[in-house]
Each structure stands twice: as C-alpha cells, then as structure tokens.
Chains A and B, each alone.
Chain A
Amino acid sequence: MSALLLALLVVPLVGAAVCGAMASREHLDRAGKAVGLGFSVVSLVLVAIVWSQFRTGPGTPRFQFALSVEWIPAFGTRFSLGLDGIALTMIALLAVLVPIVLGFGWAEKLPPGRTGSGFTALMLATQGVLVGVFAATDVFLFYVLFEAMLVPMYFLIGSFGGPRRQYAAVKFFLYSFLGGLIMLASVIGLFVASDARLGQGTFDWAALQGMAAQLPLSTQIPLFLGFFVAFAIKAPLVPLHTWLPDAGAEAPVAGGVILVGLLDKVGVFGFLRYTLPLFPAASRELAPLVLVLAVIGVLYGALLAAAQTDMKRFVAYTSIAHFGYIALGIFAFTSQSIAGSSLYMINHGISTAMLFLAVGLLIRRGGTASMTEYGGVGRAAPLLAGMFLIAGLSTLSLPGTNSFVSEFLVLVGAFPTRPVFTVIATVGIVFAALYVLWVYQRVFTGPLRGAAVVGDGPGAASAATMAGTDDGGGDGSWARRTTARFGDLTRGEIAVMTPLVALILVLGFFPGPVLEVLEPAVAATMAEVGATDPVTTNPAINGVPR
C-alpha cells in the first residue's frame, strides 16, 4: 500500500532525472519529451490505482497509505508520508494536469538554447516535489519540500519565461523563500514547545497536532502567524500577492498552469493541514483578520482582473479573486464551506489551467499576450474561442460547470457563520462575470481586427491600435481584411483541451465521488479546529443569529 505512495513521489523524480540527462543534447529533444510524457502517464495510472484503493466513509484513519522511516534522528524528524482526501485530490489534479501541459508544451517554441527535455525535466521535478509537499506528515519534511519546490519553478520561470523572466523569477523566489523562513521559525518553535511539553522534541504532524492544540492562545498566535505568512504569500492573499501577476505573466504558459493551478494551492492546503489543526484557538481568534483579507482579495482581484490588458496577468488576477473565496470557506469553519474550499482547490486548478492554456494557444498564434492586439478571434478560430469561453464560464462559476458546486458550497457554508463577509463575497460573482465576458468580448467577438489577428504581427501598427475605440482593437487599414493570419485549433491542441472540458462538465454535474473522498478529511479538520456546524438537519438546534 504505502509503496504505491512512495512510487507516486519517486516516478516523476526519476523521470526528471532521465529527462535532465537528455537536456543538453538537442537531437534527443523529441525523445526526451516523449519519455517525460511517458513518466507523467505512469504517474496518472498510479494515482488512479491509489484513488481506487482509497477508503472513504466514517472511521477511516486520518492518513492512509502511511509510511514512515527514520531520517534525521538527531532532532526527531522522520520521512513520513500519508494521504488524506485533500492531499489525494491535489495529487490527482497534479497527475492529470502534468500530462496535459506536457502535451501542450510539445509544440511550444522555446527560448534559444533551451530544450524540450530540459523543460520536461523541470516539470516532472516540480511534480515530484509537490507530491511530497502534499503527502508529508512530518512538519520538518514539509518545510524542506516547501522550500525545495521553489527551485524547479524558479528555473522554469527564469529559463523558459518571457522578456522580464529574470525579474519575475527572483521576485517569485524571494517572496516564497522569505515566507518559508518565517515558517521555519514557527516550525522550530513547535519543536521547542513539543520538547517542553512532551519531554521529547518531535516534528510528527499527529503528535504536534495533539500537543499544539493544548498550547495557550498567546503561544499559538505567533506560531500561527509564522505559518500563516508563508501560506498567505503562497496562496496569495492581498496584499502579499504582487509576485503572482509578474510570475504568471513571465512564466511559460505550461509552467504558469502548474504555478497558479497547483503550486499556489500549497498555501491554502497549508491553511487546511497546518494552521487550522495545529493552532485551532489562534485560527478561531484571528479568523476575522483572514476573512477581511479574503474578501478584499475577492473584490480587489476581480477589479484588477477587469483592468488588465495582458491576458496572462489577467488570469493571475482572477486567481487572486478565487483564492479569496477559498480562504473565506476555510476560515468560516463549517463543513460545507471547508468541503467547498477543498473542492474549489481542484476546480480552480482545472478551470485556471484551461484558461491559461486557451490564452497560450492564442499567444502561440498571435505572438503576444496583449489583448489590444486582438479582436474578433472567434471568426478565425471558433473552437479556440469556444474553449476560452468554457474556461471563462467555469471561472465565473456558472452552474453546470465544476466551479459552481465549490463556490456555492463555500458561500452557503460561510453564510451561517459569517453573513456579512459572505454577502460581500457573493457580490463578487457579478465582477467575475464582468471580467470574463469583457475579455471575451474584446478579444473574441466582433469583426476581425487587431494587429496580431489581421496585421503584420504584434506591435506592427500599435499606434493605430491605440487609436482604436470603444472595446479594444483598432480599425486601421487592415481592418477591412477578411482573413486572419492564423487558423483554428489543430487536432493535437484539441486533444490537449478536451480532457479539461470533460472534467469541467462532469464535475459540474457529478461532484459526488470527489466530495466523498474529501469528506473524512473535512470532518477531521472541523474536529481539529473545534468547530461544529451551525446548521444541522435538526431544525431545533439551528442557532443562527437573526
């Protein structure tokens, strides 16, 4: 059983090593990409097996597939892995997205001197480390992997990214690293406290959970803050978010998918796995603070998303709004809201991946991420427009798409305990519709226009584009041309996008199997944070402020 979990961790890392060895040989480029894709498919199969063996329902242990070997006995840290439902779904999302982004990257042009194998190696390395981050049940191991995951992502952005990639990569690294160091202080603090309380220092999650929950509030709060800052940077919550638009805009599209879709989820995952169970009193005490940041994020991210002209930055800001909803659900402490947030983590990964990839497919054609260079793309590439719209509808949480279920659960669950915050966050659904449909209108509807679509390429006549009017796109001399510079999706591109469309619809109507896997972890988290549902099936005890 636990060998399976170890294999989940090792397979991508071995794949990364193999691809990495091929990275400097350009003639092995295709072979490297194929090998990498093969490893990612093996991971996917492994996850499917683990999923099928994962037990649900009441009475299941906190962590399944558990595994623990001695690592550094000197300070009681062990190499311990285990899965709960939340970790499993995140690892499954990872296993689904990596083959998709590798498939997307197959036809992607790389900066000079870079090879596809090198890129694939970094992707697989990120996958391997992330599996460890989600599966770690030793706090020190988690910390080490939390920092380690920065390294492949740093090189993904710094080596394969856009023109300002160095700036973005360093900014990304510094923000995350700084947060990690602050967390390290808390990790060590936990060790010290456990040494004092248990007579022996430990980093074991379960032992620390039992111990830390007993700590006085005055101790919990500083420890909480150490973890919280690291996770809030990662998630990211406003005002610690500014690295994300830069990193998202400069990262290669496939890297951006993993960055925004999964790597950032470590932040909210951390709230669920570490801050709530380890510091329940502090979590309850400081929840209003977090909720304020969450609701600010919902509106702030949405308003900024609406104002972006760079499509990749746009996607990054929509994510900031969505992380606000996730944080709201987590810190509202009801089983609906926490289950909603856990499901949201998966759904946001899917819809953002698809949105990012649709943007990437457009950039591949038009050569720029600037919205003002496009217009009427739906006439030249109706399938691409349709893909963007489906991703966008999922982003605005239209019922029938995956995101609706999670957003509804977050809001309906948060409303009983936090009505004011929930009402404000609900207003956010109007803004979500605004930013998605506005971008869709500017880029995809209307007559063919814009330098990247009908001109001589991006920027060729940006002056004329700037003079363009109401809803973006110019009416220069090329505007009368009826043919675009590019065509619709190829078969390969359709194959990359189709699984995401299927997931969006299937999870929109049948989220049951995923919720079932999440439920024991949600119930455990609720118990650990010491919260009970205000709304029960028994109306007599519905004690709700009227």
Chain B
Amino acid sequence: MSLLGAAAPLPEVLPVEGASGAAWLLVALPALGALVLFVGGRRTDRWGHVLGVLTVVASFAVAVVLFVSSLALPAEERVRELALYEWFAVGALNVEFGLRIDPLSLTFALLITGVGSLIHIYSVGYMAHDPARRKFFAQLNMFVAAMLILVLGNGFVTLYLGWEGVGLASYLLIGFYTGRRSAGSAAKKAFLMNRVGDVGLALAIFLLFVELGTTQYAEVFARAGEISPGTLTAITLLLLLGACGKSGQFPLQAWLPDAMEGPTPVSALIHAATMVTAGVYLIARCNPLYDLAPVGQLVVTIIGAITLLIGAIIGCAYDDIKKVLAYSTVSQIGYMMLAVGLGPVGYAAALAHLLTHGFFKAGLFLGAGSVMHGMADETDMRRFGGLWRHMPVTFGTFTLGYLALIGFPFLSGFYTKDLIIEASLTAGPAAGWILGGAALLAAGLTAFYMTRLMLMTFFGPERWRDLHPRRIDAADLEDPPEHYHPHESAASMTVPMILLALGSAGAGAFLVGGERLAHYLEASIGPVVEPYDVPAVFYVGLVPYLATALMLVGAGVAYLVVGRRSVPVERPQRVSLPVRAARADLFANAINEKVIARPGIWLSRALVYLDNRGVDGAVNGTAALLGGTSGRLRRTQTGFVRSYALTILGGSVVLVAALLTVGGYGG
C-alpha cells in the first residue's frame, strides 16, 4: 500500500509572494485577542466577547484570501513557506519559526477559523449568563491561535508548540466550570494522557534530528529516503503515539469523554471539529515518512479500526447526550486514522471525512448545547423526550447532522465514510476483509446509537414533564427553576447551527464530487488514487449499497429497542454483560487506574518513606557519626558550634587523606 505514492516527487517549497506575506495575521489576530482579554482582565468584561468574535472572523477572512490566492496558483507552486524568525539555534540544530502555506494547512485553517467563527458567535449567546464569559473567550481565542500554529507551523518544533498549546487551551476549557470538582479531574486527565502522547512526538523529533540534523518539514520530507527503514518505522510509530494522545485513539482514548465537562461550545470546537483531528493532520502531514514505512502504516490502520469499533460500541450504552457524541467522535476519528494509514488511497478520504465531520459533529454538539440550554443544563437523555415540538430549529438542524453522520444517502457522511470503507477494502487480502469489515460494522453501530439518541431526545413521551431540574453545578449556576421549560435558543445560537447543518448536508457532495478536495490537496499529499483503480477484496462499487443497508438495519434495531418501548427515567441496573462493559468504557478507566494510577501512588508513597528514613537517615547518620555524637544534628539548639568544630576536624582528616593520595600521583 505504500509503493503507490512513493514515486511521486514532492513539489518544491517556494517562499510566499505578494499579499500572502501577511499570513502571519492568521495566527496573530486570535493571539492578540487572547492577550488583550487575559491582560485586560475585568476591564474588558463588557466587550470581551465582541473582540473574541471579531478576531476569529477576521482571521477567517485572511484564511479565505490565502485560499483564493492559493487556488490561483498552478498546483506545483502551491507549497509555500513564510519564514518569520529563528526561534533558537545551537550547532547543527536550527529551529526556525515560520508558516507553511500549502493546500493541507490552508484546508485546516479554513476549517478552524470557519467553524471557529461560528462557534464563537454561538458562544456569545450560550455563555451570556456566565460571569466568566470574558475569560471563556480569552481561552477560546488562545485555542484558535495555538491550533493555527499547529497546522501552519513549518517544522516539527513549531508543530509541537501548537500541539501542547492546544493541550493547554483544552485543559483550561475542560476545567472552565471551576465549581465542579469533576471538571478539575477531567482537565488534568486530558492533559496527562496527552502528555503521554507528547513523549512519543518528542522522541520522534529527536530521532529526526539525529538522522537528518534538522526538524524543519521542507528538509525532512525531501530527505526522508536517507533514513534507514528501521528508524523510519520507529519514527512513524512514535508520531502515531502522539497522534493517539491528541486524537483520543486507542489506547489513549479515555480522556475524551471526560473532556465533556467543558462548556458545550468547547466540546464542539475543540473536542469534535478541530483539536482532536490534529492526530490525523500529523499523519497526513508526514505522508512522505509514512509512505516509506509500511509497518507504521499498518499499525495506524489497526489502531484506527480498533478505535472506531470501541467508540461505536461504547456510544451505544451511554445515556448522557454529550458522552454519546464524544464516543461518536472517538469512533469517527478512528475512521480517519484508518484512512490515513492506508496511504495515498486514503489520504484524501480521511481529510474529506475530517472536514464533513467537522461540520456535522460541531453542528450536533451545538444542537446538544441548545437542548441543554433549554433544559436547565441537563444532559441525561432519559430525562428528555418529545423535544422536537419545543425546539423546532434545533430539531431540524440536529436531524440534518444526524443523517449526515449515519451516512444517509447523498448527505455528507454518505460520501466521505464510503470513501474510507472503499479504501480500506484495498488494504490487501486479509487486511482488506478485516479493516473493511470493521468499518462496515461500525457504520451499522453508528446508525444504532445515533438513532437511539434521536429517539430518546426528540421523540416519544415528554418524560421531563413530571421531573424537577437537578442542580448540576453547585457554584456556577443560579438556582434552577422548579420545572423544565424547554424553549428554542436565540438567533445567535440557531444561525450557526443552521449554517453548520447546511454544511453537513452539502459539503460531502461538494468536496468528493469531481474529486475537488483530492485534487486541491495533491500538492500536499500526492496524486489522487481511486479505490476503483486498486485491487480490492471485493468490488468497491458495492460499498454504498452495503453501507446504506447496514445503516437501515442499525436504525431499525434502534427503533425496535428504544422507539417502540417506553424509556425508563432511571437507568436500568440489571443489564447484560456487554452493556455493562460498554457502560464501563470497556474497562479502559479501570485498567488505567489499576495498572498506572494506583501503583504510581504506592511507588510515590514508598519513595517518600525511603527518602525520609533511608536516604536522609543514612546521610544524617553519617553526618552524626562524623560529628562524633549521634543525634547531635537533631538536637540543634546547641548543635551548631560544636558540629561546626567537629566537622572541621572530620573534614581535615578527609583532607589530609586526600592530599596524601593525590600527592602520590601528582608528580
């Protein structure tokens, strides 16, 4: 699967020209917004959200200008670099801070600033009652700036800057509701699991430096062939570890559902549309390395396949609307991982799915936020029901996103997911069956859990009528009302939802039709390879029919299980073993706790004991021995002068001994 793309020469990297020299504004605008809001503090409370929105919208405008001027260039001249300054340099190492303006980075920049703008606008209404709204916008702006550095940076070290920068923004925003203790734990968990991945990324960078003496993309990619195959495999696997951390892929997936502790716009922007797809970006960006490392590619596809199944299975069991969507995200990014691991046949498919997923998943999260907004911040779907009547716009936009996600014919997900399934069938005789089978199976599961979510939330009896809203947050909310009063959200919230819904509906057809996206991206990820042109385990033309059939089966089962029965408000406890396993995140947290956290705490406690008794005791004992009287050091009231004197005495003995020794050698 790797040989197809290996022959394609990389386009030359040219310096930027003309108006594109202002590309740095793309990053600088949201960064400036964040800086003003952080430094300005309470003084900016009144207009902070306006500044936050304006900087991101302006950044989007810059991205559009850059995109248009990139389109005007011939394909082989679209890879450009804007050198800014030398960040640090010692000896052979020269880390340059610059921007790489090419189709891949511009595609991401458009997604980040476009969806980012919509979510910023949505947040103005969503966070209107939060006293810390200004802080929210400061952190959201910081996220956009860091994410843009991540995708626009022209080397692995600038990537790392953005990579950990978005990690910090994610940490702050997951922990945004500081009144909740669970938010603090979730934030810390996210940062730590990401850091495990970052170790991989860092080691990959070190290996690249050892092999090539540089960490800049242009040189690394041009000289990838100089790296020995074994080392290249190691590099690709270490990069994959980094990608797994950031993108919530197996075995580092457990932090992403917990990240739903953050405000819902954050879940939409960071934990669905953009940051969590950074791992896919990383592998797509490093395609010149992966194309030469078949083992690395194979492991990427395996991780993707495992994750897309895990996410889909667990998504079926949760009752929390945001957590179902979170596991859906885990699963959909699994699809993208699977695709980028397939090499040239999968890159464009992965990125197309990444974009359409950005639209429909962001739209679904915003819809979930709108539901929560109308339902006193409730997230338990068992307490919803029949909401379509009360929030028609939310229902309509959510339905479009839902249909796009499950791959309803001719909506976005239909095109992009099918591309991935088709590509996976070309992975080889055995791998094609396994990967393709997993991808198809998960398509059916996706339809099941999403239909279940739709039915529990928008249809059926209005279970919330007889319930009292729960006080979800001890400190951040005013007293909740006595009853639920579901209502449609304000226009500042519904307009972004409508726009995203339109994207969910049409983006797939637009991007995949005529291979528009694939052709545009050629300069970054190599020429288009059609699944139809590659040997597959069975005729790929069947995939749309198979996937649609499985989707209908999944949705039908959900209707039989959820739609035709009454949904109990209390979660049933006596459930089958698979459901229990899925509810327990397939035991990922339990394993983390037992294998890593507990032993770590024991080790740490044991070391404290050792440090106090063992090391300190031994050294104190030696000192006391030297001092002549044991315990002198502890009875310090009178100890100083005598210890001093005795130490000098003891030291002198050592001194003389040492002098004699050295004197013997000295001549």
Are the CB atoms of A181 and B654 closer together than 8 Å? yes
Q: How far is the CB of B159 from chain A (nearest CB, A)?
A: 10
B56-64, B87-95, B287-295 - interface stretch: B87-95
In the complex the two chains form, is B88's CB within 8 Å of A178's CB? no
- Find residues 140-179 in chain A having any chain B CB closer than 8 Å to their own CB: 166-167, 169-171, 173-175, 177-178
Asked if residues A433 and B605 are in contact (CB atoms below 8 Å), the reply is: no
A443 to chain B, nearest CB (A): 11
Within 8 A of A (CB), among B7-38: none
List B contacts of A275 (CB < 8 A).
none
With contact pairs A174-B633, A226-B658 given, residues A399 and B178 touching in the complex (Cβ less than 8 Å): no
Number of interface residues of B (CB under 8 A): 89
Select which of A383, A393, A471 is within 8 A of B181 by beta carbon.
A471
Closest B residue to A532 by beta carbon equals B91
Nearest CB to that of A406 among chain B residues? B88
Q: Which of A92-100, A125-133, A301-309 lines the interface with chain B?
A: A301-309
Q: Which of B475, B605, B658 has the most CB of A within 10 A?
A: B658
B603 near A334: Cβ-Cβ < 8 Å:
no
B395 CB to nearest chain A CB (Å): 36
Q: Do A307 and B202 have beta carbons less than 8 Å apart?
A: no
Residues on A with beta carbons closer than 8 Å to the beta carbon of B605: 307
A181, A193, A422, A446: the one contacting B206 at CB < 8 Å is A422
Question: What secondary structure prevails in chain A residues at the interface with B?
Answer: helix
Closest Cβ of chain A: how far from B473's Cβ, in Å? 10
Contact in complex: B659, A181 (CB < 8 Å)? no
- Per the bound structure, the CA–CA distance linking A416 and B211 in Å amounts to 9
Cα distance A471–B184 in the bound complex, in angstroms: 10
A262 CA / B191 CA spacing, docked (Å): 31
Instruction: Give every chain A residue within 8 A of B195 (Cβ-Cβ).
Output: 429-430, 433
Interface presence of B223 (CB below 8 A)? yes
**Do A239 and B615 form a contact, CB below 8 Å, given A303-B603, A304-B608, A335-B91?**
yes
B654 x A182 contact (CB < 8 A): yes
Known: A376-B178, A405-B88, A427-B199. A546 touches B205 (CB 8 A): no
Of the candidates B90, B203, B211, B223, which one forms a contact with A519 in the assembled complex, judged by CB atoms under 8 Å apart?
B90
Residues of A within 8 A of B90 (CB): 335-336, 339-340, 409, 413, 515, 519, 522
Return chain A residues, CB-CB under 8 Å to B576: none
Known A303-B607, A399-B161, A539-B212; contact A216-B665, beta-carbon cutoff 8 A: yes
Question: Known: A426-B199, A512-B86. Is A167-B636 also a contact (CB below 8 A)?
Answer: yes
In Å, the complex CA distance between A252 and B424 comes to 64
Identify which of A70-78, A110-118, A184-192, A281-289 touches chain B.
A184-192
B206 touches A433 (CB 8 A): no
Contacts of A175 in B (CB 8 A): 619, 623
Q: Are A430 and B192 in contact (CB under 8 A)?
A: yes
Flag if A188 contacts B192 (CB, 8 Å).
Answer: no
A391 to chain B, nearest CB (A): 14
A404 to chain B, nearest CB (A): 8
Q: Tell me how far the C-beta of B619 lies from the nearest C-beta in chain A, rounded to whole angstroms.
A: 6
Chain B residues whose C-beta falls within 8 Å of the C-beta of A7 in the assembled complex: none
Q: Known: A184-B655, A222-B661. Is A539-B226 also a contact (CB below 8 A)?
A: yes
Assess whether A177 is in contact with B651, with CB atoms less than 8 Å apart: yes
Q: Interface readout for A286-323 with B: 1 if CB under 8 Å, 0 if not?
A: 00000000000000100110111000000000000000
* Interface flag for B634 (CB, 8 Å): yes
Residue of B nearest to A417 (CB): B210
A393 touches B168 (CB 8 A): yes
Which residues in chain B, 652-667, are within 8 Å of chain A measured between CB atoms? 652, 654-655, 658-659, 661-663, 665-667
B462, CB-defined interface residue at 8 Å: no
Decide yes or no whether B165 CB sits under 8 A from chain A. yes
CB-CB under 8 A from B212, the residues of chain A are: 539
Complexed CA–CA distance, A308 and B231 (Å) = 40
Q: Which of A46-54, A80-88, A360-368, A434-442 lies at the binding interface?
A: A434-442
Interface of B is mostly: helix
Q: Which of A188, A304, A383, A445 has the most CB of B within 10 A?
A: A445
List, in ascending order, chain B residues with CB within 8 A of A459's CB.
none
Q: Name the one of A405, A427, A542, A546 contacting B230, with C-beta atoms under 8 angstroms.
A: A546
Cβ of B91 and Cβ of A415 under 8 Å apart? no
Stretch at the interface among B99-107, B122-130, B639-647: B639-647
Closest A residue to B619 by beta carbon equals A242
Contact A242 B88 (CB under 8 A): no
Contact B659 A192 (CB under 8 A): yes
Q: Which of A508-524 contact B (CB under 8 A)?
A: 509, 511-512, 515, 519, 522
- Complex CA–CA separation, A446 to B662 (angstroms): 61
Q: Is A106 an interface residue (CB 8 A)?
A: no
CB neighbors of A among B182-206 (8 A): 183-185, 187-188, 191-192, 195-196, 198-199, 202-203, 205-206
Q: Which residues of A contact B654 (CB under 8 A)?
A: 181-182, 185
B573 interface residue per 8 A CB criterion: no
B160 within 8 Å of A (CB atoms): yes
Given contacts A219-B666, A441-B184, A539-B223, contact A189 B659 (CB under 8 A): yes
With A167-B636, A509-B87: A411-B608 Cβ-Cβ less than 8 Å: no
CB of A218 within 8 Å of the partner chain? yes
Chain A residue nearest to B632 (CB atoms) is A170
Q: A535 near B: Cβ within 8 Å?
A: yes
Bound form: Cα–Cα A441–B172 in Å: 11
B611 A182 Cβ-Cβ under 8 A? no
Please give, as numbers and ranges, the residues of chain A lying within 8 Å of B648 by CB-CB distance.
181
Chain A's closest residue to B638 (CB) is A166
Query: Quick check: A178 and B184 within 8 Å, CB to CB?
Result: no
The answer to whether B209 has its CB under 8 Å from any CB of chain A is yes
CA distance A222 to B659 in the complex (A): 10
Residues of B contacting A186 with CB < 8 Å?
658, 662
A512–B88 CB distance below 8 A: yes
Contact with B along A211-239 (1 / 0, CB 8 A): 00000101100110010000000000011
**Interface flag for A79 (CB, 8 Å):** no
The interface residues of chain B lying within 8 Å CB-to-CB of A335 are 90-91
Task: Check: A463 CB closer than 8 A to any chain B CB.
Answer: no
Interface residue A378 (Cβ < 8 Å from any Cβ of B) = yes
A423 to B627, CA, bound (A): 41
Q: Is the CB of B191 within 8 A of A433?
A: yes
Q: Are B168 and A398 in contact (CB under 8 A)?
A: yes
The minimal Cβ–Cβ distance linking A524 to chain B, given in whole angstroms, is 14
- Interface status of A490 (Cβ within 8 A of chain B): no
A447 touches B659 (CB 8 A): no
Q: How far is the CA of A412 from the CA of B201 in the complex (A)?
A: 12
In chain A, what residue has the closest Cβ to B91? Answer: A335
With contact pairs A409-B88, A429-B195 given, residues A182 and B658 touching in the complex (Cβ less than 8 Å): yes
- B164–A399 CB distance below 8 A: yes
CA distance A174 to B181 in the complex (A): 45
- State in angstroms the CA–CA spacing of A427 and B604 once bound together: 16
* Given A181-B655, A511-B88: A434 in contact with B192 (beta carbons within 8 A): yes
CB of B91 within 8 A of CB of A218, answer no
Residue of chain B at shortest CB distance from A423: B203
B192→A441 contact, CB < 8 A: no
**Contacts of A308 on B, CB cut-off 8 Å?**
608
A485-512: which residues lie under 8 A (CB-CB) from chain B? Answer: 509, 511-512
- What's the Cα separation between A490 and B171 when bound, in Å? 27
Q: Which residue of the partner chain B has the closest CB to A393?
A: B168
CA distance A306 to B87 in the complex (A): 32
Asked whether, in the complex, the Cβ of A177 is within 8 Å of the Cβ of B213, the reply is no
Nearest CB of chain B from residue A313's CB, rounded to whole Å: 10
A242 to B178, CA, bound (A): 36
Q: Are B647 and A174 touching (Cβ within 8 A)?
A: yes
8 interchain residue pairs of minimum CB distance: A181-B651, A185-B658, A189-B662, A445-B184, A415-B206, A242-B616, A335-B91, A399-B161
A selection of 30 A-B contacts at a CB cut-off of 8 Å is A166-B640, A175-B619, A181-B654, A186-B658, A193-B662, A242-B615, A300-B607, A303-B600, A304-B607, A304-B608, A306-B604, A307-B608, A336-B90, A336-B91, A336-B93, A339-B91, A399-B163, A399-B165, A409-B93, A413-B90, A413-B93, A429-B198, A433-B195, A438-B188, A445-B181, A446-B179, A534-B210, A535-B92, A542-B213, A546-B228
